[in-house]
Structure 1
């Protein structure tokens, strides 16, 4: 079953609140290094504040960048989690307009800008997948490709040798049992499952 949403591309949302401009930028990440690169690329040193948060599996951090503690980064992280996203970084750039919002107003502003950003952001559901390594005789190579398509999987690697090919495929965990059965039935048991660690590229 899908467990969380993946952001497909960088997405922006801007809102003016009591003369302050809040620009929310959300971007997909796969590592802390990616997050830091995106933060550097999108941040604005001329702004009053560059507040941020990220969620990457069990890892998360947030930063208020001079706003009162707990009024910016933490509400942004809560917005990410509340929208059901993972592997995402969020930045809110604030240009101060001269009217103070108070702690409650700040938290609503920062959290709200990211929540509204993610409501309209392009995403796909994350589907847990498993990688399998197969030894496939020449006669059954096309069967593997066809079955991968049928079971929403993909062929990651195909290395040919004198007996056929060693193939690395990735298939949704929910389909794994049926996929293995279909492989065995279509090849009359001639497709072998290899040990991933020792044979799988």
Structure 2
């Protein structure tokens, strides 16, 4: 089972007078990955090398380092550590000593690897969306029970009779959640699956 990060992570290292800073974050889309890369890249540094991986999609960038010596090693580290939905940026400030191609691969890959090793992780749980309408009389009970069912509330829209919910639940407990919602409310809630997709 793949893992992602629970939040951002940072690791800094000096290698032969060059300063390397690796920064990593969980991302859900290419847009999120590119936004993170823009946010943490340092305009003062010549080399902001990066890689990201989201499912079958991935990209890497060498940022003026020799081809294949920066972005690709960062991407290989993400994959080697079993991570997904992750972006990593390694920024280098040149210290005057050339590292050579092998040295660059080790420096970028090693800095990224250490950053990811130190980062807090969580298992990626594939989820399915369920929608249902909850009468006002059942709102408190259902609201209190949703977390114990593993449901993450994505939207809650109130109307004259109660609230329309869209919740994301782990794929393997969808039937159980639908039955529990009906049982809790004596059949007043009839949930339905709205989308079979990764969230």
Q: Specify the TM-score bucket, using the shorter chain as the normaliser.
A: 0.7 to 0.9
In the alignment, is the contact (CA less than 8 A) between 1:148 and 1:171 conserved in 2? Answer: no
In the alignment, is the contact (CA less than 8 A) between 2:178 and 2:190 conserved in 1? Answer: no
Establish whether residue 192 from structure 1 lines up as the match of residue 182 from structure 2: no
Give the corresponding residue for 1:175: 173
Change (3 A) 1:135 1:62: same
State the structure with more CA Rg: 1
Q: Counterparts of 1:40 and 1:137 in 2: how far apart (Å)?
A: 45
Alpha-carbon displacement from aligned partner over 1:110-166 (angstroms, at most 9, x marks no partner):
11111100111123222122211113344433442243122121333142334x443
Give the corresponding residue for 1:107: 105
Give the corresponding residue for 2:4: 6
SS at match of 1:26: strand
Alpha-carbon displacement from aligned partner over 1:68-126 (angstroms, at most 9, x marks no partner):
21111000001112222222221111122233322222111111111100111123222
Task: Please give the residue correspondences for 1:1-201 in structure 2 after superposition, counting only pairs within 5 Å.
Answer: 3-155=1-153, 156-162=155-161, 164-194=162-192, 196=194
Q: TM-score, normalised by structure 2?
A: 0.83
In the alignment, is the contact (CA less than 8 A) between 1:147 and 1:179 conserved in 2? Answer: no
Between Structure 1 and Structure 2, how many residues are aligned? 194
SS at match of 1:36: helix
Which segments of 5 or more consecutive residues in structure 1 lack a partner in the other structure?
A: none
Instruction: Report how far residue 184 of structure 1 moved.
Output: 2.7
Instruction: Report how far residue 36 of structure 1 moved.
Output: 3.0
Which segments of 5 or more consecutive residues in structure 2 lack a partner in the other structure?
A: none
Q: Counterparts of 1:128 and 1:171 in 2: how far apart (Å)?
A: 8
Change (3 A) 1:165 1:94: closer
Alpha-carbon displacement from aligned partner over 1:149-196 (angstroms, at most 9, x marks no partner):
22121333142334x443322222222122122223333333223574
In the alignment, is the contact (CA less than 8 A) between 2:181 and 2:190 conserved in 1? Answer: no
Q: Counterparts of 2:73 and 2:32 in 1: how far apart (Å)?
A: 22
- CA RMSD between the two structures: 2.4
